[in-house]
Structure formats: C-alpha cells, structure tokens
Amino acid sequence: MVFIAASITFALDQLTKYFINNRFSLHESLPIIKGVFHLTLVHNRGAAFGLLQNQIPFLILTSIFAIYLIYSNLKAGKHGKIYSLALGLILAGAAGNLIDRIFLGYVIDFLDFRIWPVFNLADSAITVGAGLLGYSIISKR
C-alpha cells in the first residue's frame, strides 16, 4: 500500500512539473488567487529555501543515499501505518526532485504562495511526510 501511495505521489509530481514546464516560460506567473496563490515556473538549482545553490552533484548523492535508507527501512520490517506512509511520501518527494536534478540540472518549482519560496508537489510530500514521521515517533513514546 505504501508503494502505491508513493508511486501515485511521484507520478502526480512528475505530471504537474511536465505540464507547467511545457506551458509556462521561466518566471511566468499565472494568478489563481491574485496576490495569494500563483502558478510560477522557477528552476531551483539548490535545495529548499535556495540553500546549496549549484551543488547539484552533492544534492544528487544525498538524495540517492536518502532514498536507499528509506527504501531499506520500509523493506526491513513491519512499521505502523502512519510511519510507513510518512516514509513513502518522503521517498516519493525525494525521487521526484532527484529525477529533475539528474535530467534537467535543476528542480521545477511552481506553487507560489507569494509569502513563501516557490515549491512543488515533491516538496509538499517531503514536508507532509516529515510531519507524519515526527508525529509517529512522538506518539509511540
């Protein structure tokens, strides 16, 4: 079940990036809710919040290592549903951004809330997964 959720998340991430990248010019912005939420095409050559700009080889290796650890952890044994779902979301997000970095040299970002750096569905999956992972770990104690 976790791999199905991860696969769907990964596919949605890649499909939305493909759509935006083929319909928008770089930095083109379409207001959905003017001044609040726009679709804006950005090429992110770093990590979250613009950290580690142009460190693509490092980010690729880090992503591959994280994916390996997550996959190994999921495959190793039975975990709670929330813990497994959290790792699946993080896995899908890491894989989605890794594909961009390998094939494009940057990550396609497009969700623009104007008060936050532009991000994508993979970033959202990683964030939600991290929150669920934290909740899962805390609730066990």
- Strands 37-44 and 29-33, how do they pair? antiparallel
Could you tell me which residues come within 8 angstroms of residue 131 by beta carbon, excluding any fewer than 6 positions away?
86
Asked whether 94 and 63 are in contact (CB, 8 A), the reply is: yes
Closest CA to 97 of 134, 130, 131, 66: 66
> Which of 13, 100, 112, 123 is an active site residue?
123
Structure tokens at 141: 């104690």
> Which of 13, 100, 109, 112 is an active site residue?
109
- Catalytic, 109? Answer yes
User: For residue 65, which amino acid is it?
Assistant: F
Active site residues: 109, 123
